Each structure stands twice: as C-alpha cells, then as structure tokens.
Amino acid sequence: MIRLIDNGATDQLAESLPEGLTVPEYEVMRLLDLRGDGQAPAAIAQALHINTDELIDTLHRMVTSGFANVDPGLRESADNRVWITPAGRDVYAQAIAAVRPKMDKLREAFTLEEFRDAYPFLKALQTWFAERDWV
C-alpha cells in the first residue's frame, strides 16, 4: 500500500513539473530550498535516501540544464557544494506553483487530525525498517 501511495504521489508530481525538470531534480531543489544552498552532495544523498551515484547523475543533468552549479572543493571532492542557479530558482518556482493546487486538494481531502493520526504509525514503521537495514 505504501508503495502504491508513493508511486501515485510521484506520478502526480511528475505530471505537474515544468518541461525539462525531473522529479529527482525537483527533490534536490526542494531540499536546497529547505536547508539552504551550499550543501555537500553526500549530505544531499543521505537526506534524500539515495546513493551517491544517483545523486551525481542528477547533479550532472542539473548542471547541464543550467539549474545548478557544483562548486569544487578546496581540498577534495568531498568538499564540493551545490548551488541553485537563477534559472534553477525560476524553474523551481514554476514547479511549486504547478504542484500547489494538487497539494491543496490533498489537504482538503483529509483533516489535520487524520494526518496527525497516521503519522505515529508511519514513523514507527519507518523506524522498524531502519533498525533492520531495510530502508
């Protein structure tokens, strides 16, 4: 059931994104919007629960598209930092505007209490999997 929900949400997100922006790119931009520019790729990969190779591929596409810059580290690649470009900020703003109506519909379909009631179970389930290296 969780996989079906995740797939449905991802499909809806992908349908809403501006042309040329992928879901993984959107997720990187969203994380940088929340945490601030200048995050290390390793920290981004960890936060998004993806491996470093997946993130490197995503960052390469973002740089090629003009959505991000990866500043080289002073000592080694572990010191690299990721920054969203003005073009990336523009496409992210378009994505947020396109996704917002779907998020509003989701919020209207369920009460705050229903979301709050579901959270403890979902958090416990995530913890259970994490303790067993399943996640």
pLDDT along the chain (135 residues), means of 10: 90 94 97 95 93 93 96 70 96 96 93 94 90 72
Give every CB contact of residue 80 below 8 A, 6+ residues apart in sequence. 40, 41, 70, 71, 72, 73
The whole-chain average pLDDT of the chain stands at 91
Coil, helix or strand at residue 86: helix
Q: Domains of the chain by range and CATH?
A: 2-110 (1.10.10.10)
* Sign of the C-alpha dihedral computed for residues 111, 122, 23 and 90 taken in this order: positive
Q: How many CA atoms lie within 13 Å of 23's alpha carbon, on the beta-carbon side?
A: 12
Q: Could you tell me if 85 and 93 are in contact, meaning their C-beta atoms sit under 8 angstroms apart?
A: no
